[in-house]
Amino acid sequence: MKTNNMFKKESRTTRFRYALSIKSILFCTFILVGLLSTVQAQDSIQYTKPSWYFGVAAGGNINFYRGSTQQLNADLTVPTTFHDGSGVGLFVAPLIEYRPANSRWGVMLQAGYDSRRGAFNGVLTPCNCPADLITDLSYLTVEPSVRLAPFKSNFYLYAGPRLAFNISKAFTYQVGINPAYPNQLPSAAVKGDFSNVNDMLLSMQIGAGYDIPLSSQNSRRQFVLSPFVSFQPYFGQDPRSIDTWNITTVRVGAALKLGSGHRVPAKVKTDAFVPTVVVVVPEVTFTVNSPKNIVDERNVREIFPMSNYVYFDLGSTKIPSRYVLLRKNQVADFKENDLSMNAPENLSGRSERQMKVYYNILNILGDRMSKNPATSVLLIGSSQQGPADAREMALSVKNYLVTVFEINPSRITIEGRIKPINPSLQNGGTKELVLLREGDRRVSIESNSPALLMEFQSGRDAQLRPVEINVVQEAPLDSYVTFNNKGADKAFTSWYLEVTDDAGKVQNFGPYTTQEVSIPGKSILGTTPEGDYKVKMIGQTKDGKSVIKEAKVHMVLWVAPKENGGMRFSIIYEFNKSVAVKMYQKYLTEKVIPRIPQGATVIIHGHTDIIGDSSYNQQLSLNRSNDVRSILENGLKKSGRSDVTFQVLGFGGDQKLSPFENKNPEERAYNRTVIIDIIPKQ
């Protein structure tokens, strides 16, 4: 009996030694991290949260044995079967972790030493002698896991497979003395290796942990301490192939991780505007509205205007290659209604798809003239190089229509001028002359044939009949994030926005001079589906001081629905004009108003090209929008309607919000527009 007690005392001492080792590792970890975090906290530069972490995990495996074992190896079969038991083993492993700062998801990999040490419950042999069995199984474990932070907080869950390779099969078997014969000599402990041990085990684990930052965001190298607990069920954990023995393990420990953040760019603009003295300014109210952007089924049919101008390159009288020119054998297959549907796959958004329609302007004209033999046109070329050069441009258009579409030459008249009827380059102009000259070098298409023209129009100002397009639009204006800075136009000379995400990344927008600004969610979110942001408005007063207001907002990225909705019309303005011609007024009243359903929302947004001062263009675009709103409101009022909600916006020549590019004169011409989106009541 004395021997048996001594054996159990040795077992308890061994377990205590393992537990003490685990505690020592954790205690030293805390001391080391405390010293490192103290040193790192002295840095004042801001860094983002790391995405990659490297470190070490350590802990204890609480092992539970179930089943039975009796034949320990070929040389030793014990007289009595051992059944259940338990024990504590050491776990220590290097780790790698990847988790993007703005994502709930990540991956982890641990690979190291994994002990399944423990003791079976004592049994009695046939001689009434107590017997004990201690196992010292250990493995090299490889544990990849998927990491999930369900609340985007420091708490996380993880799960994955466990691949274990056996590195130790040792056991210790001890038979004590019969209590009835206390003077017997004890048997020597038998040490050996288990036979029939599976060299590899494939099982699984699930666990949870909590990240405790040990460094401030002022540190490039950021330390994190993560206490964790995991559960490894008995599935797949059968150590041997000849008995029913299996192991269930609960692991408790902590991981020390180190990652490097990226330096946050210095906030130059913010530093320039940071006030040293609080000043009194007129009342300013700053609010942010971010729509939920829930995708709905919104069908959008666009009535796309067809400009009656063909633009030529400086120094050339040939039709530019960017226009679509057909061969004679392709004319029979040309269909105006298929233009938008046959756009190449690499085209996306309003700009490229709709410009493809415009670049077929000569084919649309030729097709309409072929189908309407009584129609005729006047082609007027305009060139600063003289009427002869201008006639050559007009002749190029005529020859194309005659040769390819077989239009009778007598139906096409040509003229040459130095300036167009509505020139962009005015007398005395000194700025951006090249762009203005590009816009004036063109061939105008004029006609008195209604079959070719926009409704209610004829003559010099008449555009060609628009083309109806069914397309998937870019993010609509009602999906933009709106920043309302009421009173800013009087309080500030300018103001701008500083937008910070939850990872510390800063974006600047502005400066602005208006009270309200709308920004596409994609400009802020990029490809991130949604996120929480802190918005800082920094306004500069007339005396050079700064005022700062802050707001928090949750933003959601707009995603195009599978089906589009609503209807869109466009009105094109001449250069530097903000009043629609009379024919447009008739078109808006008699063509657009009847298509506005009861309770609809009409979003009117004006644009300009990039020519001219940005603040002037901002006001010009707003004047154009208000011009269209006035025409629509008056027409609705005359028909006894007051059920329509209007939203009016002016974006000036902002190239991030322009409908088209500004590289070619035709793109700049289409940017002098007011777009009317009619959204039916949901």
| Residue 104 DSSP symbol | S
pLDDT at 499 exceeding the cut of 60 = yes
Instruction: For residue 636, name the pLDDT band (cuts at 50, 70, 90).
Output: very high
pLDDT tens track for 230-252: 999 998 999 998 888 899 999 99
Task: Enter the tokens of residue 608.
Answer: 């300009």
pLDDT at 17 exceeding the cut of 50 = no
Can you tell me the mean pLDDT for 154-166? 94
Contact 240, 199 (CB under 8 A): no
Instruction: For residue 87, name the pLDDT band (cuts at 50, 70, 90).
Output: very high
The rounded distance, in Å, linking the Cα atoms of 233 and 137 is: 17
**DSSP assignments along 373-395, one per residue:** TT--EEEEEE-TT-HHHHHHHHH
Residue 480 has a pLDDT of: 75
Contact 518, 649 (CB under 8 A): yes
The rounded distance, in Å, linking the Cα atoms of 655 and 290 is: 22
pLDDT tens track for 589-604: 888 998 899 999 999 9
Give the residue carrying structure tokens 């927008």: 509
Name which of 159-173, 416-430, 499-513, 517-531 the model is least confident about: 416-430
| Closest by CA position to 519, among listed 537, 541, 539 | 537
Domains, the chain: 2-260 (no CATH), 268-295+475-556 (2.60.40.10), 302-465 (3.30.1330.60), 566-682 (3.30.1330.60)
Greatest mean pLDDT among 173-182, 343-352, 576-585: 173-182
Task: Enter the tokens of residue 204.
Answer: 């699984």
Residue 193 has a pLDDT of: 94
pLDDT at 198 exceeding the cut of 90 = yes
Residue 471 has a pLDDT of: 53
Number of H helices and E strands in the chain, helices first, is 11, 31
Greatest mean pLDDT among 78-82, 261-265, 390-394: 390-394
Can you tell me the mean pLDDT for 268-276? 44
* Angle at which helices 361-371 and 387-405 cross, to 10°: 60
Name which of 20-34, 37-51, 460-474 the model is least confident about: 20-34
The rounded distance, in Å, linking the Cα atoms of 76 and 192 is: 9
- Contacts of residue 638, Cβ cutoff 8 Å, sequence gap at least 6: none
**DSSP assignments along 568-620, one per residue:** EEEEEPPTT--S--HHHHHHIIIIIGGG--TT-EEEEEE---SSS-HHHHHHH
Whole-number percent of the chain with pLDDT over 90 = 39
The pTM assigned to this predicted structure is 0.45
pLDDT tens track for 538-570: 888 887 788 888 888 888 877 655 444 578 888
Look over the chain and give the mean of its residue pLDDT values, rounded to a whole number. Answer: 82
The rounded distance, in Å, linking the Cα atoms of 16 and 117 is: 13
Residue 503 has a pLDDT of: 86
Can you tell me the mean pLDDT for 574-581? 74
pLDDT at 283 exceeding the cut of 80 = no
Please give the backbone phi and psi of residue 87, each rounded to the nearest 5 degrees, phi first. Answer: 180, 175
pLDDT tens track for 373-386: 999 999 999 999 99
CB-facing half-sphere around the CA of 645: CA atoms within 13 A: 8
519 versus 638: the higher-pLDDT residue is 638
| Closest by CA position to 487, among listed 281, 286, 287, 284 | 284
The rounded distance, in Å, linking the Cα atoms of 330 and 397 is: 18
pLDDT at 268 exceeding the cut of 50 = no
Residue 2 has a pLDDT of: 41
| Alpha helices for 266-424 (secondary structure H) | 268-273, 349-358, 361-371, 387-405
The rounded distance, in Å, linking the Cα atoms of 657 and 479 is: 13
Instruction: For residue 132, name the pLDDT band (cuts at 50, 70, 90).
Output: very high
Name which of 426-435, 455-464, 465-474, 507-516 the model is least confident about: 426-435
Name which of 97-101, 344-348, 407-411, 662-666 the model is least confident about: 344-348
Task: Enter the tokens of residue 381.
Answer: 């070329």
| Closest by CA position to 496, among listed 483, 480, 477, 487 | 483
Long-range contacts of residues 294-299, Cβ cutoff 8 Å, at least 24 apart: 295/558, 295/559, 295/560, 295/561, 296/561, 296/565, 296/682, 297/561, 297/562, 297/563, 297/565, 298/476, 298/561, 298/563, 298/564, 298/565, 298/566, 298/679, 299/470, 299/563, 299/564, 299/565, 299/566
| Closest by CA position to 469, among listed 560, 635, 340 | 340
Q: Which helix (H) or strand (E) holds 412?
A: strand 412-417
Long-range contacts of residues 577-580, Cβ cutoff 8 Å, at least 24 apart: 577/672, 578/620, 578/623, 578/624, 578/627, 579/627, 580/627, 580/628, 580/631
Task: Enter the tokens of residue 387.
Answer: 């009427």
Instruction: For residue 425, name the pLDDT band (cuts at 50, 70, 90).
Output: low
Residue 427 has a pLDDT of: 56
Residue 323 has a pLDDT of: 92
The rounded distance, in Å, linking the Cα atoms of 645 and 628 is: 14
The rounded distance, in Å, linking the Cα atoms of 409 and 660 is: 35
Instruction: For residue 14, name the pLDDT band (cuts at 50, 70, 90).
Output: very low
pLDDT at 659 exceeding the cut of 70 = yes
Residue 531 has a pLDDT of: 84
pLDDT at 273 exceeding the cut of 50 = no
